[in-house]
Amino acid sequence: MAMFVRRVIGAARLDAATYEEVEADPKTITQAVAVVVVSSIAAGVGTAGSEAGVLGAVWIALAALSGWFAWAVVTWLVGTRMLPEPQTQSNLGELLRTIGFSASPGILRIAALLPGVGQLIAFAAWLWMLAAMVVAVRQALDYKGTGRAILVCVIGFFVQVGVVFAITLAMGVSALAMGMLPGM
């Protein structure tokens, strides 16, 4: 457990060595999933106090989990097929692990429950997660610089947003059809 906490803190600190460690150890996939789950639950709980309610919180958590997987797949494809550097060698597992750990600042999204500053803290956590992802991608794809990692993350971001939007829309339509949401 101490190693897991150390890795979560190292990932949040944007420590390249932590991302290299996670990338190299296939056994950390369970830990990466745990980080994504906790971060997703934090996002869901953070919205529970809003109009979204408990059902909205569950949807947001599920969308965040789906988004993580989609973002990792797209990042892997773009980073290894479209924008590799000569030394780029990576597999999907490495991206799932490093991107999973890059979600560690997202645990702070639970602060969205706080009146006044909660949304600001949640937004700052989201930006922090993006910065962590750039480091995770740079390390997992063995990029020499950060610019290409930023580009890969931006491309992956737009695809991930589309996936999360589609899932959220499908869940909303489904809930509306089942009478769980008020009609428009």
> Looking at the predicted structure, is the pLDDT value of residue 55 above 80?
no
Q: Containing domain of residue 142, as a range?
A: 2-177
Quick check: is 182 in a domain?
no
Q: What is the pLDDT of residue 180?
A: 55
Quickly list DSSP for 109-164: GGGGGSTTTHHHHHHHHHHHHHHHHHHHHHHHTT-SSSHHHHHHHHHHHHHHHHHH
Q: What percent of the chain has pLDDT over 90?
A: 57
Q: Give the pLDDT confidence of 118-166 residue by residue, as tens digits.
A: 889 989 998 999 999 999 999 999 999 999 999 999 998 888 778 777 8
Quick check: is 183 in a domain?
no
Number of domains in the chain: 1
Quick check: is 184 in a domain?
no
Quick check: is 80 in a domain?
yes
Q: What is the pLDDT of residue 58?
A: 72
CB 67 within 8 A of CB 164: yes
Quick check: is 56 in a domain?
yes
Quick check: is 160 in a domain?
yes
Distance CA 7, CA 19 (A): 8
Quick check: is 168 in a domain?
yes
Quick check: is 60 in a domain?
yes
User: What is the pLDDT confidence band of residue 70, given thresholds at 50, 70 and 90?
Assistant: confident
User: What is the pLDDT confidence band of residue 184, given thresholds at 50, 70 and 90?
Assistant: very low
Can you give the pTM of this predicted structure? 0.83
Mean pLDDT for all residues in the chain: 86
Exposed/middle/buried for residue 105 (C-beta within 10 Å: 0-12, 13-18, 19+) = buried
